[in-house]
Amino acid sequence: MENNFLNIPEEIALLALGEDGEVHPKIKSPKFDIVIASAILMDLAIHHRIDTDRVNIIPDKLEPLNDPILDVAIEEIKEQNKPLPIKDWIADLSLMGQFFRDEIIKSLVSKGVLKIENKQVLWVFSKRVYPLVEDKEVKEVRARIRDLVFSDNIPEPKDIVILSIVKHSDLLDILFTDKELDDYKQRINQIAKMDMIGLVIGEEMDEFKLYDIKAFFSGEEKSAEEMLEEHIRELKEKFRITDSGRLPEWLRRGTPQYEKTLEFVREVGTGDITFNHRTKQYQVNSYDFIGHGFGSGN
């Protein structure tokens, strides 16, 4: 049975949430908006609202789906109503990322999958099973995708798309251990290639790993030095630092730690990072999945 209880963006978001309300570190990034945007496009393709060739999104039957998340995207596409590059639509919808994050959480709460306690998102169902849908219990996305990979079952179109998104987003380690990824690599690749539209959009997602949305719209691919220097300029302005000598060592040119900082920026693809002096570890600055409507900001 195909699960129509939740849309694909909602199921992708649920992969990020632990039962304790904690969000996986890979999700706390503006780049996750690219994942949500791609998930929306793939869901529209499954519902025959759009089609694709190797380059473009092609409008199809643009009637509403009575889904507040997908219908917003349908309206955006309807306004253009002509074939446009896939990468343009990924970028355009990514710029609405915080809106979609908020709407996804609101929808999951209204459907009774999540609840909000003390501005924290928590699962309602400890067994990770959704309510009855068409008189059948529907497995939570994590369990479904794992079972699919570990079996020879013929996958539902929706689950093919979800696995494709997870694969192209470098999020497989959220679902599988390193050993499982080694043992089932061929099966994962086989399933991810079953849906041509998912494959084409997934390939465009790969391109966005090289730069952030701001860089896309500026028409430039920024180097690690440029991304880091932009972050330094923002910090100096924010904290009114006029003397670069006052910057911490990890942000000060010419120091060994600065070179390590550049290596980390190259690895993660953003200069929006911080360095923990106690742990001696870098991390990308976190962004709550929940926006202004639910959670507290940084």
Q: What is the mean pLDDT of residues 158-174?
A: 88
Q: What was the pLDDT predicted at 83?
A: 92
The domain limits of the chain are 8-213, 222-284
Q: What is the mean pLDDT of residues 90-100?
A: 79
pLDDT at residue 51 is higher than 80: yes
Q: What was the pLDDT predicted at 34?
A: 84
What is the overall mean pLDDT for the chain? 80
pLDDT at residue 222 is higher than 90: no
Can you list the alpha helix ranges (DSSP code H) found in 28-113? 32-46, 68-80, 86-94, 97-110
User: What is the C-alpha to C-alpha distance for residues 262 and 122, in angstroms, rounded to an integer?
Assistant: 36
Say if CB 38 and CB 209 are below 8 A apart.
no
Quick one: tokens of 150?
A: 């570990």
Q: Which residue has the higher pLDDT, 16 or 211?
A: 16
Q: Which CATH superfamily includes the segment(s) 8-213? A: yeast vps74-n-term truncation variant domain like (1.10.3630.10)
Q: What is the mean pLDDT of residues 78-88?
A: 88
Q: What was the pLDDT predicted at 242?
A: 82
Can you list the alpha helix ranges (DSSP code H) found in the chain? 8-16, 32-46, 68-80, 86-94, 97-110, 141-149, 157-168, 172-175, 178-183, 185-192, 196-207, 213-218, 224-238, 256-268
Q: What is the mean pLDDT of residues 122-147?
A: 67
Quick one: tokens of 92?
A: 């355009």
pLDDT band at 298 (very low <50, low <70, confident <90, very high): very low
Q: What is the DSSP letter of 155?
A: P
Q: What is the mean pLDDT of residues 236-242?
A: 73
User: What is the C-alpha to C-alpha distance for residues 240 and 220, in angstroms, rounded to an integer?
Assistant: 28
- 1-10, 63-72, 172-181, 213-222: range with lowest mean pLDDT: 213-222
For residue 285, how far is the Cα from the chain centroid?
Answer: 15
* The one-letter amino acid at 182: D
Q: What was the pLDDT predicted at 14?
A: 84
Say if CB 112 and CB 131 are below 8 A apart.
yes
